[in-house]
A and B are shown apart, each in its own frame.
Chain A
Amino acid sequence: MAISFPTPRRLGYRFNLVGIVSAFVVLAWALIAIFAAWLTPYGPGEVVDFDYFGPISSQFWLGSDYLGRDILSRIIIGTRYTVGISLAAVLIACFTGVVLGMTAAVIGGWFDTILSRFLDALTSIPSKLFGLVVVAGIGSSIPVLIGVLAVIYTPGAYRFARALSVNINTMEYVTVARARGERTLYLIRHEILPNITGPVLADMGLRFVFIVLLLSGLSFLGLGVQPPNSDWGSLVRENIGALSFGAPAVIMPSIAIATLTISVNLLIDNLPVKIRDRSE
């Protein structure tokens, strides 16, 4: 079930069906996050249903929550928090991690040793625990959440980028550039970076999934996004009382999380493959 897209350049790309479907789901969530304000049928804070934990109906497509608010509207607005916070955190984490990782690999020596030791120590604090401790310390707000999530996932990004860069660093073209007299900045920018971008982007996707899961977990514990705002994790927390009836209010936000994270994972496993035809 592979589809080949002929691209303007001579090289084609092969993108399989699973990859295409996941890409569509990810894209859809991105668009929902951007245009959330125009998509909600009701105000996310408005109490619109007389009943609480209402079932799926033509009026409320995904039912209503413990106060009688529309779940669909709350999920749509929640997308902004879940996707937005996670995206900001993953960008900061990967940028910091990759820059430090490449620098450590190229410079080596004590700089590398101390940085690696310190960041390794940071990874030995379980991520949820770290979030718990910091949020307990300084309280929860969106900038704090982004900062904590970024700090938690920087060591992983660093380790990954460093391992790749160390491999590239042993390549003879880096040695040639070094023998030419090139400075560290040039080596990082021109010799290392272009050769690690692919894997780094895939790693960023995986890290994004971890961050979404951790953010949802923190919100579920009541330590994430605080009321009146809510992301998908806090929606589950708010409506956990509906669990014993199996009402949509608790199931739908969970499904939202699952569709996003499963799609990103599947997309990374099924990225378009560049067709290398080496017949000649």
Chain B
Amino acid sequence: MNSQIRSLILARLGIAVITLIIVSFIVFAATEMLPGDIAQILLGQAATPEAVAGLREAMGLNDPAFLRFLRWMGGLLQGDLGKSYANNMQVADLIGGRLANTLQLAAVTALFSVPVALFLGITTAMYQGSIYDRAVNFMVIGVISVPEFMIATLAVLVFAVWLQWLPALSFANDVKSFWELLRAYAMPVITLSFVISAQMIRMTRAAVISTLGAPYVEMALLKGASRPRMVLRHALPNAVGPIVNAVALSLSYLLGGVIIVETVFNYPGIAKLMVDAVATRDLPLIQTCAMIFCLGYLILITLADIIAILSNPRLRK
């Protein structure tokens, strides 16, 4: 690895860290906008003013916001995620298993949809303007244009109500066999795959097509190369950066998608936990969940940028 690549990657990592700090500040500020007195809400209307004041003092709510922000950040860095307001459990314990569930769902979806989407994106670019290309495009626009909950409800209508292949809105808690596991995952995975594949197909196709306009692709044509060779050998290696970026952006879309999908299918993941936390205004839980989502996004995007830097032939020695 040469020094230019190393310094570019280090700079990119530095930016990621700065972004994470700004993000944590925004998340903290947004949740701090909550009107009303948290101590009052926690103790209920019947509490005496003295009790409320005591709790405020104990929770450090009287300190300036910036100090509380630093304390919160310090806690996060040491792995202390705080206690849930709602049931006084450690946030870390609440999140643990749920996070694993969500990651599982995301991983299965990614494994399934990334290869399919890349294949469709590249082949539609290869046969641009063909009936195949237009049909895929039409479907992609359709999927991109509708909200995730609609795809979820449509999946339920088709697979559970009409075909009765899969269980409807409930998520089976007692999964006994691999087959049941598959059935349980099928609906959320199908829904999420549709949502993120559409984005990925569209962006991959655009990236390959824009590279196909390069003079070196025309040169390949004039050397007698076939259309697949022009795309696979000449256009694709130069489209790696944009394609990886498209994949990362689409996968980050998973983070938003799971919020709806976990709610619709009652899936015990971290997004569902967060939506429930919003209902009970459980601040420490909301903050932690939000930070996990933002961290996920940042990791994906930073990774994509680093791959783009590594794949840039102009930086090769």
- Do chains A and B make direct contact within the complex (CB under 8 angstroms)? yes
Interface residues of A (CB under 8 A from B): 117-118, 120-122, 124-130, 132-139, 209, 213, 216-217, 220-221, 223, 233, 236, 240, 243-244, 246, 250, 254, 257-258, 261-262, 264-266, 269
| In contact, B146 and A138 (Cβ under 8 angstroms) | no
Q: Min CB distance, B77 to chain A, in Å? A: 18
Partner of B161, one of A216, A233, A244: A244
In the bound complex, CA of A138 to CA of B32 (Å): 9
Partner of B19, one of A117, A133, A135: A117
Partner of B260, one of A137, A220, A254: A220
Q: Give the chain B neighbours of A216 by CB distance below 8 A.
A: 147, 149
30 A-B pairs (CB sep. < 8 Å):
A118-B22, A122-B26, A124-B23, A126-B293, A126-B294, A128-B260, A129-B255, A132-B259, A132-B278, A132-B286, A133-B27, A133-B30, A136-B277, A136-B286, A217-B259, A220-B149, A221-B260, A223-B278, A233-B149, A243-B153, A243-B168, A243-B169, A244-B161, A244-B168, A246-B162, A250-B153, A254-B153, A254-B154, A258-B150, A261-B145
Q: A132-B275, A137-B34 are in contact. Are A125 and B168 (CB under 8 A)?
A: no
Given A250-B153, A257-B150, 17 more pairs with CB closer than 8 A: A121-B26, A124-B297, A125-B23, A125-B26, A125-B290, A125-B297, A126-B294, A127-B256, A129-B290, A132-B259, A132-B275, A136-B286, A137-B30, A221-B275, A236-B150, A244-B168, A254-B146
Q: Give the chain A neighbours of B301 by CB distance below 8 A.
A: 124
Interchain residue pairs A-B with the least CB separation, the first 3: A121-B22, A261-B145, A136-B278
Q: Give the chain A neighbours of B281 by CB distance below 8 A.
A: 136
Q: Give the chain B neighbours of A223 by CB distance below 8 A.
A: 278
> How many residue pairs between the two chains, A and B, have CB atoms under 8 Å in the bound complex?
134
| B79 within 8 A of partner (CB) | no
Q: A117-B19, A121-B26 are in contact. Are A265 and B290 (CB under 8 A)?
A: no
- With both beta carbons as reference points, the residue of chain A lying nearest to B146 in the complex is identified as A258
Partner of A133, one of B22, B31, B252, B256: B31
Q: Which of B20-41 contact A (CB under 8 A)?
A: 22-23, 26-27, 30-35
In the bound complex, CA of A138 to CA of B146 (Å): 28
| In contact, A133 and B142 (Cβ under 8 angstroms) | no
Q: Min CB distance, B317 to chain A, in Å? A: 29
Q: Give the chain B neighbours of A250 by CB distance below 8 A.
A: 153
Q: Give the chain B neighbours of A121 by CB distance below 8 A.
A: 18-19, 22-23, 26
Q: Min CB distance, A206 to chain B, in Å? A: 10
- With both beta carbons as reference points, the residue of chain B lying nearest to A210 in the complex is identified as B144
- With both beta carbons as reference points, the residue of chain A lying nearest to B274 in the complex is identified as A132
| B298 within 8 A of partner (CB) | yes
| In contact, A136 and B31 (Cβ under 8 angstroms) | yes
| B156 within 8 A of partner (CB) | yes
- With both beta carbons as reference points, the residue of chain B lying nearest to A263 in the complex is identified as B145
Q: Give the chain A neighbours of B35 by CB distance below 8 A.
A: 138-139
Main secondary structure on B side of the interface with A: helix
Q: Give the chain B neighbours of A124 by CB distance below 8 A.
A: 19, 23, 294, 297-298, 301
Q: Min CB distance, B99 to chain A, in Å? A: 15
Q: A124-B19, A223-B278, A233-B147 are in contact. Are A133 and B157 (CB under 8 A)?
A: no
- With both beta carbons as reference points, the residue of chain A lying nearest to B275 in the complex is identified as A221
| In contact, A265 and B145 (Cβ under 8 angstroms) | yes
Q: Min CB distance, B247 to chain A, in Å? A: 16
Partner of A246, one of B149, B161, B259: B161
Q: Give the chain A neighbours of B26 by CB distance below 8 A.
A: 121-122, 125
Contact flags (1/0) for B268-310 with A, using CB distance below 8 Å? 0000001101100100001000100110011001000000000
| In contact, A265 and B144 (Cβ under 8 angstroms) | yes
In the bound complex, CA of A57 to CA of B149 (Å): 27
Q: Give the chain A neighbours of B260 by CB distance below 8 A.
A: 128, 217, 220-221
- With both beta carbons as reference points, the residue of chain B lying nearest to A217 in the complex is identified as B147
In the bound complex, CA of A262 to CA of B148 (Å): 14
| In contact, B256 and A128 (Cβ under 8 angstroms) | yes
| In contact, A133 and B290 (Cβ under 8 angstroms) | yes
Partner of A126, one of B33, B154, B252, B286: B252
- With both beta carbons as reference points, the residue of chain B lying nearest to A261 in the complex is identified as B145
Q: Give the chain B neighbours of A254 by CB distance below 8 A.
A: 146, 150, 153-154
Partner of A243, one of B19, B156, B290: B156
| B141 within 8 A of partner (CB) | yes
In the bound complex, CA of A69 to CA of B1 (Å): 68
Q: Min CB distance, B73 to chain A, in Å? A: 15
| In contact, A117 and B161 (Cβ under 8 angstroms) | no
| In contact, B148 and A126 (Cβ under 8 angstroms) | no
Q: Give the chain B neighbours of A266 by CB distance below 8 A.
A: 141
| B90 within 8 A of partner (CB) | no
In the bound complex, CA of A236 to CA of B148 (Å): 12
| In contact, A138 and B278 (Cβ under 8 angstroms) | no
In the bound complex, CA of A274 to CA of B53 (Å): 69
In the bound complex, CA of A262 to CA of B160 (Å): 26
| In contact, A262 and B141 (Cβ under 8 angstroms) | yes
- With both beta carbons as reference points, the residue of chain A lying nearest to B150 in the complex is identified as A254
- With both beta carbons as reference points, the residue of chain B lying nearest to A250 in the complex is identified as B153
Q: Give the chain A neighbours of B259 by CB distance below 8 A.
A: 126, 128-129, 132, 217, 221
- With both beta carbons as reference points, the residue of chain A lying nearest to B168 in the complex is identified as A244
